[in-house]
Amino acid sequence: MRPEHPEQIVQATLDKYARYINAGLAKLYRFADVMTTEWEASGAVIRDIYGKEYLDCSGGPAVFNVGHRHPRVIAAVQEQLDRMPMSVRAMPRQGEADLAELLAQVTPGDLQYTFFANSGAEANEGALKLARLATGRTEFVAAEGAFHGKTMGAHSASGRDTYKTPFQPLVPGFRHVPFGDIDAMDRAVTTHTAAVILEPIQGENGVIIPPDTYLPAVREICTRRGALLILDEVQTGLARTGRMFACEHWGVVPDILTMAKALGGGVVPIGAFTGRAPVWKALESNPYLHSSTFGGNPLACAAGIATIRVIQDEHLAERAVELGGYLLDRLTEVARRHSGIIRQVRGKGLLLGMEFTDPDLVLLITAEALQRGVIVFYSLNNPATFRIAPPLIITKAQLDRAIVALDESIGVAEALLAEVAADLKTHS
């Protein structure tokens, strides 16, 4: 049920953002004419406080793989909520053990042990710490353009200076090389390298897919030099790209794999890192070297188990392949119609990026799309690209509606650009 005076709630919410959250965010919302608030969601549809419907083509991003409020996830969390919402952490917890066992079954290769956190950044922090502990080394190699989170260690591994410079000095020992450049990686990894940390596909950098030979070659370099390989599957994991984990496209098994976002089914936040038994041995003598008050809590684990079962039972990885191929073809047609401002459309499964000639165009297009009832996000590390990462349960008919709205929004931006160019020519 929606409130009687929604406009008052919207104005009060924006005022509170300005006074109590971040005045810059409030300005951005007002500049983009987002004079509403989100209110309810189901499947691939969001409704605002006025009842207007929006197709979710961002997925959080990549949070709502099983859709919003999937009934099986909701039911699992509700059952746990009625029984025991939080753990006293004085006894073993069945839900945590069951989810860890399930992750050992669905992750690639011989990955076996899992530590549960609350977010992707925390999962990556834990993975970096474990790599130091297991190898006795202190240096890391990461990729330019990478995004691993905004805590200090994860931020140090990330690869865009805009977000890093204000917080210097960050954690020492991180070296960045171009993503996809195996020669640069070979030069960077030494006998002092604890681990290489990479996203199999760079999400926040605009959905950058490496050459097919890249990840297998990185795996070989790490093995040869005694460094660990950490793969960050926070965005790409849980069937998003058409496999349960994106590294499976290239047959690569990391030493540590991190995940979050979609693991909680869009209901409860949860992050995790899963590793091979020889690596995990470093934590056996003192299991509390790394810990989390809320990591592995009963609600999150119930959500995680239900989410993985939904992905398996509803064949969402296969669905991502089918719908992702369809969406890529349709967006490629859109790009041909607007070739003057669109550089490239790329993607794997239902993780796609559309890159434009100018970041300002992306801001305009996302705002226009929102007015037409479609939600897409620009990429933090590549603002000239917006990502499309809808729930994997979205229908083809819903995708068709989204494509029409995006095509119209791109047309508005293109017309405005032509108008500006004509004005400049007239006054030159």
- The one-character DSSP state at 44 is T
Beta-sheet strand order (sheet of 382-388): 342-348, 351-356, 382-388, 377-379
Q: Residues 115, 116, 147, 174: which is the catalytic one?
A: 147
Please enumerate in sequence order all residues whose Cβ is within 8 A of that of 322, keeping only pairs 6 or more positions apart, or say none: none
Q: Residues 232, 245, 273, 348: which is the catalytic one?
A: 232
Q: How far is CA 23 from the centre of its chain?
A: 26
**Catalytic residue list contains 56:** no
Q: Residues 129, 261, 348, 386: which is the catalytic one?
A: 261
> CA-CA distance, 316 to 296, in Å (whole number)?
25
Length of the chain: 428
Question: Is the Cβ–Cβ distance between 231 and 200 less than 8 Å?
Answer: yes
Structure token digits, residue 177 = 């090389």
**Catalytic residue list contains 232:** yes
> CA-CA distance, 57 to 54, in Å (whole number)?
9
**Catalytic residue list contains 261:** yes
> CA-CA distance, 399 to 408, in Å (whole number)?
14
Query: SS3 for 256?
Result: strand
From residue 32, alpha-carbon distances to 11, 15, 202, 206, 364 in Å are 15, 16, 27, 21, 8
Which H/E stretch holds residue 59?
helix 59-62
Which residues are annotated as catalytic?
A: 147, 232, 261
